[in-house]
Every structure is written in structure tokens, then in C-alpha cells.
Structure 1
Amino acid sequence: MALSNEEQRLLEQMEAALAAEDPKLVNAMRGTGTRRVHRRRAALAGVAFFGGLVLLVVGLYLATGARGYIALSVLGFVLMVAAAVIAILSWQHVGSAVEAGDRPDRAKTAQGSRAPGNQGFMDKMEERWRKRRDEGM
């Protein structure tokens, strides 16, 4: 069922208000970002790795009868190494690709704006170090 012109206009106004109020949510809902690209690249590299493995095994199997198929095995091995490097680099980007504003502010956490029960180990250690340094001076 299609929306009427008035409903379409109201929907557009609501979308604009939401985009103005919370742009991070809008970006997350659109799926724009580098995570998606890097995740797809890592998946394709995984497929290429298994393709290289197949070439390696087939080349070794065929190399028992003839010498020309060793190049196929070498090609498969090179493909596997290249795919593994690409997959690892892409997967690292997936883990570190955080949209702006998603990371906790280090200055705020170090100053104790978080609840004491939610502090991480390193935050607690930094806070203790600051107290010792400040008391000593």
C-alpha cells in the first residue's frame, strides 16, 4: 500500500529530525562505513585462500605424473599467502573501524566520569598512579 503525499511528507520530516538529532544512529542504520567493505574483503580473501588450497592440492596430485603441474601448486601457494595477508589486514580494519564518536574519550575516563564499578583495570591503575604522583608533590 502506497503512502499518501501527506504521509510521505511527514515521514520525510521525521527522517530529517532524526538525522539532525542522532546522526550516528542514521549512519548505523544506513550501513555506511568501512566495516562493511573490510568485512566483505576479508570474506573474499577467505574464499581465495580455499581456492589457492585447491590449486595447491590439485597441482601436487597432478605433479606426480608430469612436471608441468608444479607451477599450478606454486600458484596456489602464492594465492593462499596473498589471501591470508589480505584477510588479516582487512579483519584488523573491521575491528578498528569505529565510527567517529563511538570510542570512549580517554580524558573523560581517566578523570573518573565513569562509575567506579565500570572502570577497567588500566583506568584504575592510571588513577592510582595520578593519586600517588599528586600526593608526593
Structure 2
Amino acid sequence: MALSNEEQRLLEQMEAALAAEDPKLVNAMRGTGTRRVHRRRAALAGVAFFGGLVLLVAGLYLATGTRGYIALSVLGFLVMVAAAVIAILSWQHVGSAADMSDRPDRVKTPGGSRPPSGQGFMDKMEERWRKRRDEGM
């Protein structure tokens, strides 16, 4: 259910008063802490990726027929793959949190970025298509 203009204005005034009174609470409610955690996790995964690359190259350099150094290369490759997956997933969380905090008209949902009204990306695209088709005829 949509809010009337007066209700929206009152809500904005209440949000502004709360932000002025307790900015730490506002930051906690916006989820900036989780964005910071995901950003830090992505950065650490980037460092781990380069550490895995060093292990891979060192294992290949030292591999002169012994299996121990080949295992070092395989370990480096596995570290690189795991770090890349963690970095990509964390960076997606950073991007979705930034998108949600930049757009106050969007509602955050714990399960994903889809608003609770059920209108997703494809629904919006179909609606736009229908409007264009109706206007053209």
C-alpha cells in the first residue's frame, strides 16, 4: 500500500530527526557495517588470490621431478580458486548493499534484492513493453 504525500513527508521528517539524534543507529540500520565486512572480505580474498599465485609459481619453479613441489602448485591453484569465489560473492554483496542504500525508494529484503511487492525486473520490463505497444497502436 502506497503512502500519501503527507505520510511520506512525515516519515521523512521522522527519519531526519532520528538521523540528527542518533547517527550511529541510522548507520547500523542502513547496513553499512555489513557492506564494510563484505568489502574487507573481498580485499582479503584478493590478497589470498595473489598468495595462491605465488604458491603456484613457486611450486612450478621448484618442481624438478619431486611430488612435494607439485602438491604446492596444486595447493596454490586451489587457494586461487577459493579466493576468487569468495571475492566475487563478497563483491556482489557490496554492490547490492550499495545499490539498496543509494535508492531510498527500494525496500531491503533479507532474501534478496527483490521488493516485497513481487514486481521484479522481468515484470517491469513486460510492463514497459506493454506500454510501448499500447502507445504505438
In structure 2, what is the equivalent of residue 83 of structure 1?
A: 83
Alpha carbons of structure 1 residues 129 and 49: separation in structure 2 relative to 1, 3 Å:
same
Extract unaligned runs of 5+ from structure 2. Answer: 1-16, 107-114, 116-123
Alpha carbons of structure 1 residues 31 and 134: separation in structure 2 relative to 1, 3 Å:
closer
How many residues align? The count is 104
SS of equivalent to 1:97 = helix
Note the C-alpha offset of 1:131: 6.9
Q: Distance between the aligned counterparts of 1:80 and 1:102, measured in 2?
A: 35
Give the residue type in structure 2 aligned to 1:130: K
- Mapping of 1:1-137 within 5 angstroms? 17-19=17-19, 26-27=26-27, 32-64=32-64, 66-98=66-98, 99=100, 102-105=103-106, 126=127, 129-130=130-131, 132-133=133-134
Extract unaligned runs of 5+ from structure 1. Answer: 1-16, 107-122
SS of equivalent to 1:33 = helix
Deviations 1:20-70 (A, max 9, x none): 679699418x98432111100000000000000000000111112533211
Q: Distance between the aligned counterparts of 1:133 and 1:74, measured in 2?
A: 59
Alpha carbons of structure 1 residues 68 and 126: separation in structure 2 relative to 1, 3 Å:
same
TM-score w.r.t. structure 2 length? 0.57
Amino-acid identity (%):
76
Larger Rg: 1
